[in-house]
C-alpha cells in the first residue's frame, strides 16, 4: 500500500539535475584542465546543461591521443573497421529518443522533424560503414606501364585530422564529417558545434560503449575562435576540415596556420550545405594519400 510520504513524493515537483558534460579524449571523459564551462541553451534560450570549455592543453591532449591511436586503427583490416562502424550505428539506434530530444531542443525543430534527422544520421553512418572495404577498389587503380612491372596506386590514411563540426546541423552534419574521416583509417579531433554540442557529447557516449578504440575519435566542446587555431597550427595534425568555420577571416587565419607543416585543408563550403543530400565520395577522398607501388613481373 502506498504511504502518505510516497504519495507526497509523487506530487511534489522534482529538482532538476543539472549536468556538466565533459570532454572525450583517448576513450575517457576528462574535465577541461582549465576547469571552465559554459551554459548550453535550447533554441528558445532555456538552459539545457553545461559543457566544458576546452583549452589549448585539452587540444594538445586530444591530438596526442589521436596520434597514439592512429597506428592501431589504420593497421586494422578495412572489413574490421566497417564492422566497428556498423556496430556504432546499432548503438545510435538504441539511443534514438535521446538524440531526438537533443536535436529538437538545440535546433528548434519539431520532434517529427528531429526524428527524421536522427534517422538520416544513422543511415548516413551505415552508408559510410559500407564503404570501408570498398575504398581501395573505387579510389585505387592498377596502372599500365611500359616495362615488366606491376604498378598499383592505393589509398592510404593521412593521420590525425582536426575537424570543426558544422554549427547548424549538430548531429547529421557531425556524422557526415566524422564518419568519412575514420572509415578510411584516419583518427580525428572534433570541435563540436559551439552552441549545440549535446548531440556530439551523446555520440561520444555511444563511441565509448562500442568497439571503437579510444583515441580514434576525440571530441572537444568550446569556442571555435579559441580552440580551432591551436588545432590548425599543431604540428602533429596532418589535415584540417574547416567545414564548421563560418567566419571568413578566421578561416583564412586557420588556413595560414595549417600551411606551416603543409596540412591538407578542406576549406569551408561557399554555400550552406544541405546535409540530407547524397554526400558522394568527396569527403572519403579528402584525407587520403595515394601510394604507388611498383613490382617486377615474375617469370
In CATH, what number is assigned to the domain containing residue 90?
3.40.605.10
What would the pLDDT profile of 16-46 be if each residue is shown by its tens digit?
A: 777 899 999 999 999 999 999 999 999 999 9
What CA–CA distances, in Å, run from 34 to 23, 41, 54, 58, 59?
12, 22, 7, 9, 12
Closest CA to 86 of 129, 121, 133: 129
Q: pLDDT at position 285, please?
A: 92
Residue 14 belongs to a domain: no
Regarding predicted confidence, which is higher, 296 or 182?
182
* DSSP assignment of 247-272: -HHHHHHHHHHHGGGT-EEEPPPSS-
Residue 98 belongs to a domain: yes
Residue 6 belongs to a domain: no
Residue 55 region, left (φ>0) first, then alpha (ψ -120 to 50), else beta? beta
Residue 44 belongs to a domain: no
Residue 273 belongs to a domain: yes
Cell numbers that stand for 141 in this block: 587503380
Residue 160 belongs to a domain: yes
Residue 170 belongs to a domain: yes
Report the run of H or E that residue 51 belongs to, with start and end.
strand 47-52
Residue 116 belongs to a domain: yes
Q: Which residues contact 110 (CB under 8 A, 6 or more apart)?
A: 104
Domain assignment of residue 25, given as a range = 21-39+49-296
Number of structural domains the chain divides into: 1
Give the Cα separation of 38 and 220 in Å (integer).
13
Q: In what order do the strands lie in the sheet with 47-52?
A: 20-21, 47-52, 37-41
What would the pLDDT profile of 239-274 be if each residue is shown by its tens digit?
A: 999 999 999 999 999 999 999 999 999 999 999 999
Q: pLDDT at position 291, please?
A: 85
Give the confidence band of 11 by pLDDT, cuts at 50, 70, 90: low
* Cα 58 from chain centroid (whole Å): 16
What CA–CA distances, in Å, run from 176 to 6, 120, 211, 253?
48, 10, 20, 24
3-state DSSP call for residue 52? strand
CA angle 160, 121, 39 (to 5 degrees): 75
Q: pLDDT at position 296, please?
A: 83
| 192 pLDDT more than 70 | yes
Cell numbers that stand for 79 in this block: 572489413
Amino acid at each position: 500500500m502506498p504511504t502518505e510520504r510516497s504519495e507526497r513524493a509523487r506530487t511534489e515537483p522534482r529538482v532538476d539535475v543539472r549536468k556538466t558534460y565533459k570532454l572525450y579524449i583517448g576513450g575517457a571523459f576528462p574535465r577541461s584542465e582549465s576547469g571552465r564551462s559554459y551554459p548550453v541553451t535550447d533554441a528558445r534560450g532555456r538552459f539545457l546543461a553545461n559543457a566544458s570549455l576546452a583549452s589549448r592543453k585539452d587540444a594538445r591532449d586530444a591530438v596526442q591521443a589521436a596520434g597514439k591511436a592512429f597506428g592501431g586503427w589504420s593497421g586494422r583490416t578495412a572489413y574490421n573497421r566497417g564492422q566497428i562502424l556498423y556496430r556504432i550505428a546499432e548503438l545510435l539506434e538504441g539511443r534514438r529518443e535521446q538524440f531526438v530530444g537533443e536535436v529538437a531542443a538545440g535546433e528548434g525543430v519539431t520532434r517529427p522533424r528531429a526524428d527524421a534527422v536522427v534517422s538520416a544520421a544513422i543511415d548516413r553512418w551505415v552508408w559510410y560503414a559500407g564503404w570501408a572495404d570498398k575504398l581501395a577498389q573505387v579510389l585505387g587503380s592498377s596502372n599500365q606501364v611500359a616495362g615488366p612491372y606491376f604498378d598499383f596506386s592505393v589509398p592510404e590514411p593521412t593521420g590525425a585530422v582536426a575537424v570543426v563540426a558544422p554549427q547548424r546541423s549538430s548531429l547529421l552534419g557531425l556524422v557526415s564529417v566524422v564518419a568519412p574521416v575514420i572509415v578510411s583509417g584516419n583518427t580525428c579531433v572534433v570541435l563540436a558545434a559551439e552552441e549545440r554540442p549535446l548531440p556530439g557529447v551523446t555520440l561520444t557516449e555511444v563511441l565509448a560503449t562500442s568497439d571503437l578504440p579510444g583515441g580514434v575519435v576525440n571530441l572537444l566542446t568550446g569556442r571555435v575562435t579559441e580552440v580551432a587555431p591551436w588545432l590548425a597550427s599543431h604540428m602533429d595534425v596532418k589535415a584540417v576540415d574547416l567545414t564548421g568555420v563560418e567566419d571568413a577571416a578566421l578561416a583564412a587565419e586557420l588556413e595560414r596556420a595549417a600551411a606551416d607543416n603543409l596540412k591538407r585543408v578542406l576549406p569551408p563550403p561557399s554555400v550552406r550545405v544541405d546535409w540530407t543530400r547524397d554526400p558522394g565520395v568527396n569527403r572519403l577522398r579528402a584525407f587520403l594519400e595515394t601510394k604507388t607501388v611498383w613490382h617486377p613481373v615474375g617469370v
